[in-house]
Amino acid sequence: MNWTRTILLTAVAVAIVVVGASIVSSQQDSADEPRDVTEPSPSSTPTSEPPTPEKKPTATFVGPVDGGVGTLAVVDHAGEVTAYFCDGASLEAWLGGSFTAGRLRLSGDNGALRGRFDGGQATGSVRVGGHRFGFTLRQVSPPRGLYRVADTIDGAEVTGGWIVLPGGRQIGVLTVDGRSRPAPRLDPATGRVTIAGRTLTAQPA
């Protein structure tokens, strides 16, 4: 046997074993080392408040009814509608209802109204005191429009309605303690009106 060759092979085998053990140890040490894992941070984007819906502006329509026997105002508050008819002497009617599916449907103690809005106009018919009148009303801007007051003076109930037309003309009825008469003139800029020596403030209806 060649002892020199045997010794050489044995040395090579030992070297291989040592190298292999070193590699395994290195892999274990690497596996045991803690990993630097950065946790994802929660989003810092602030949640915003939902936008506030814009209020639909009030639309007011005024004008005489067909035949000129009375004056009518219709006010649309985003689908909730108020109407007032008066003859400027003693006959009047307050009506309320809604504008839905393209139709106006209003009613009150002594009348009713059916109609629709058509661009800058309101059209239809109104029934008051057993009579029916057609109407085509024009849209207006403040201080033109509809005003109302309700108060008590010396124990008497006071109610009044005013329709301010284009050009500044006013038509209204004032009722004091159950008795109706033409309404006194009010100041549309402030809503102030003097009744029985007392100043009241009418509000847009």
Q: What per-residue confidence (pLDDT) applies to 119?
A: 85
pTM of the predicted protein model: 0.73
pLDDT in tens, 108-127: 999 999 999 998 999 999 99
Q: Checking phi first, is residue 119 left (phi over 0); if not, alpha (psi -120 to 50) or beta?
A: left
Model confidence at 55, pLDDT cuts 50, 70, 90, reads: low
Q: Which pLDDT band, with edges at 50, 70 and 90, does 47 fall under? A: low
Q: Before 143, cis peptide (omega within 30)? A: yes
Residues above pLDDT 90, as percent of the chain = 70
Residues above pLDDT 70, as percent of the chain: 73
Does the pLDDT of residue 53 top 80, yes or no? no
Contacts of residue 205, Cβ cutoff 8 Å, sequence gap at least 6: 73, 75, 82, 84, 145, 146, 147, 148, 161
Task: Tell me the domain boundaries of the chain.
Answer: 59-204
What is the SS3 string spanning 147-159?
EEEEEEECCEEEE
Q: Is the dihedral of CA 139, 170, 113, 81 positive or negative?
A: positive
pLDDT (0 to 100) of residue 150: 97
pLDDT digits (tens, 9 = 90+) for 127-160: 998 899 999 999 999 999 999 999 999 999 999 9
Residue 107, pLDDT > 80, answer: yes
